[in-house]
Structure 1
């Protein structure tokens, strides 16, 4: 086995590890990155927070960059999961928009400054940039495909092409929720409520959808 093959196997083993210690390192690194930023966080900072040795760190990650990549994957997975909180086959468009908007905002709130950090690193780190771009594209594609379903098109009257609406809504939700990550519950709740209302206006729910919602709430 060559040196490069051995290194690749080691990297694969680290990435595939799902032990609790790896999770603890990711949690510690996430807190360090959120509090001090990427540049001010070192491997030693992470190991000190996690209360482990450098040897333990390198058993799971090859570098600080790899840790951030793993954290980005975890955040991306939470964002994708936010679109699966309701069954789109049986829910109205209004129910889907409301539930997924709230779930996505909560995922952003939960990650706080990490989202802003990932956004910044995506512009200078090709690997993080590719991860971030891919998940945002998948989110927009899923949302647009939902709005373009024949059944859903009968419930809405969008003010612009669905793809354009989705892009505007997703950007506003991500940026706005990131800024309110440290705010109190009432401010965050108001933001979510306002954003759902904006989405409803842009997507344009028809009278039939409203009637359906009213019957559901009775």
Structure 2
């Protein structure tokens, strides 16, 4: 079998994808910074390699294009949002504390990734792959939230103000859209919003 240069490069690139080493992580960090500061259109491979202090050859050893590296950045952000809803250990038995912990973690993830999140939401309307990923994340987040509220309703002395699915969707929207508006706010304003959102969540779910 004859393997062309481009095929060989693609195979090598695919192998590096499965090995999430420090160089690839550095390229992703640089790309995320560039996308956040410059937006999608103004970010180029040259801009990313300058930020990462690597050659274009190094970039293309890991990613085939700006589009591909954006997909990887978006996947990382989406995974961070999903991970923010996961709590292990003894704290997971205190459902009120889990609610506070996961709300805080999710909102802080929005603060940290707000500009990239805005790009993801915009690109989701233009790029089918990003659109599918973002829809999947939103669906999983809302379903997890709904199941968690149902668990609280079944095991705690609470009186929810609406069906769990409606509360879950309302709070998920508030966490995403509300926190995104405060990306450039002061740390004090962000902490205030986080505290307010935790209090609102408890009231909607029915904690006394």
Q: TM (normalized to structure 1)?
A: 0.86
Aligned length: 206
Aligned counterpart in structure 2 of residue 72 of structure 1, from 71, 74, 77:
74
Aligned counterpart in structure 1 of residue 57 of structure 2, from 55, 58, 66:
55
Aligned counterpart in structure 2 of residue 119 of structure 1, from 118, 121, 124:
121
1:93 offset after TM fit, Å?
Answer: 2.8
Aligned counterpart in structure 2 of residue 167 of structure 1, from 166, 169, 172:
169
Q: Name the structure 2 match of 1:20.
A: 22
Q: Name the structure 2 match of 1:214.
A: none
State the SS of the aligned residue for 1:39. Answer: helix
Aligned counterpart in structure 2 of residue 40 of structure 1, from 29, 39, 42:
42
Would the aligned equivalents of 2:84 and 2:105 in 1 still touch at CA under 8 Å?
A: yes
Q: What's the Cα RMSD here?
A: 2.2
1:86 offset after TM fit, Å?
Answer: 4.9
Q: TM (normalized to structure 2)?
A: 0.90
Q: Name the structure 2 match of 1:140.
A: 142
Post-superposition Cα deviations, 1:152-180, rounded to whole Å, max 9, x if no partner, equal 45432211111111111111111111121
Post-superposition Cα deviations, 1:131-161, rounded to whole Å, max 9, x if no partner, equal 1111121111111112222774543221111
Which deviates more from structure 2 when the two are superposed, residues 25-34 or residues 89-98? Answer: 89-98
State the SS of the aligned residue for 1:149. Answer: helix
State the SS of the aligned residue for 1:84. Answer: coil
